[in-house]
């Protein structure tokens, strides 16, 4: 049986991914922040395994290792994070915004991978999936594609940093046979949907599962689930 660990799995895209992998027959491990979220997961996926933790906590990596107890993981999906539209201009962005977003999108992703490395090494074709955003693309930003858009600077900066982290991890983990890919899930139809949103979280999750099952990707790729194209870094 294949297995997957998903952070931030109790709502939105995270929940949709947990549902897709669970229905496909994967052993599903999730990381959520509180008892209420754990109850949601167990209600819908009764045979899943849940760790209550904040991915930014200093003891998270150790707790994650203890939770997994060296069990095999085929896929690790870094989905936990924060976002929004606070600080959408240079004069409105604060150091606190930057530190919060960096902690969740970068520190949390790094800690998750560190806490799952032993489990990933037990798999035949392990993959780390970092859920990023088109707004983390330096190339697209440099082309003016985000001008006048009401998305927090801190979010865009943190996603760009997470993309660099992904490439660094891809280099380091290659000798262990672990692929690292970055995913733009598409403009999703959620409560905070952008004006061009046209993809449900459920459809996005299904496309990710199909991509992973097909193994039609290489490490270091930045992939859009909306268009199935490779995005520029």
Tens place of pLDDT for every residue, the chain, 233 residues? 999 999 999 999 999 999 999 999 999 999 999 999 999 999 999 999 999 999 999 999 999 999 999 899 999 999 998 766 677 787 888 889 889 999 999 999 999 999 999 999 999 999 999 999 999 999 998 998 878 777 888 999 999 999 999 999 999 999 999 999 999 998 876 766 566 767 899 999 999 999 999 999 999 999 999 999 999 99
Domain annotation covers residue 32: yes
Smallest CA-to-CA distance from 158 within 104, 93, 96 is with 104
The pLDDT score that the predictor gives to residue 57 is 96
Comparing CA positions, the residue from 39, 46, 131 lying closest to residue 82 is 131
Q: What is the pLDDT of residue 89?
A: 84
SS3 116: helix
Q: What is the CATH number of the domain that holds 83?
A: 3.40.50.720
Domain assignment present for residue 54? The answer is: yes
Is 232 within a domain?
A: no
Does 123 map to a domain? Answer: yes
On whether residue 230 sits in a domain, the answer given is no
Give the other-Cβ count within 10 Å of 36's Cβ.
10
Question: Exposure string (b/e) for 121-148, b if CB count within 10 Å is 16 or more?
Answer: eebeebbbbbbbbbbbbeebbeeeeeee
Residue 194 has a pLDDT of 65
Could you list the residue range(s) of the whole structural domain that residue 61 is in?
3-224
Q: Looking at the 3D structure of the chain, how many domains does it have?
A: 1
Which pLDDT score is estimated for 208? 98
For the packed helices 35-44 and 12-24, what is the interaxial angle rounded to 10 degrees?
30
Question: Residue 26 domain-assigned?
Answer: yes
Q: What's residue 104's pLDDT?
A: 93
Strands 3-7 and 49-52: unpaired
Q: What is the pLDDT of residue 178?
A: 98
> Is 229 domain-assigned?
no
Residue 231 lies in a domain: no
């Amino acid at each position: 049986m294949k297995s997957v660990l998903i952070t931030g799995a109790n709502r939105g895209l995270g929940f949709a991914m947990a549902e897709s992998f669970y229905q496909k027959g994967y052993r599903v491990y999730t990381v959520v922040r509180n008892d209420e979220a754990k109850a949601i997961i167990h209600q819908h996926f009764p045979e899943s395994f849940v760790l209550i933790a904040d991915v930014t906590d200093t003891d998270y990596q150790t707790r994650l290792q203890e939770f997994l107890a060296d069990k095999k993981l085929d896929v690790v999906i870094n989905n936990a994070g924060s976002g929004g539209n606070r600080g959408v201009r240079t004069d409105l962005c604060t150091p606190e915004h930057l530190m919060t977003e960096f902690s969740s999108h970068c520190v949390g992703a790094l800690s998750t991978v560190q806490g799952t490395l032993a489990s990933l090494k037990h798999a035949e074709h392990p993959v780390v999936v970092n859920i990023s955003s088109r707004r983390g693309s330096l190339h697209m930003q440099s082309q003016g594609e985000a001008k006048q858009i009401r998305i927090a600077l801190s979010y865009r900066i943190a996603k760009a940093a997470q993309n660099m982290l992904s490439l660094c991890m891809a280099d380091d983990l290659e000798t262990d046979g672990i692929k690292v890919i970055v995913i733009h899930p598409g403009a999703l139809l959620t409560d905070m949907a952008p004006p061009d949103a046209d993809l449900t979280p459920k459809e996005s999750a299904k496309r990710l599962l199909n991509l992973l099952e097909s193994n039609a990707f290489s490490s270091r790729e930045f992939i859009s689930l909306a268009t199935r194209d490779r995005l520029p870094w």
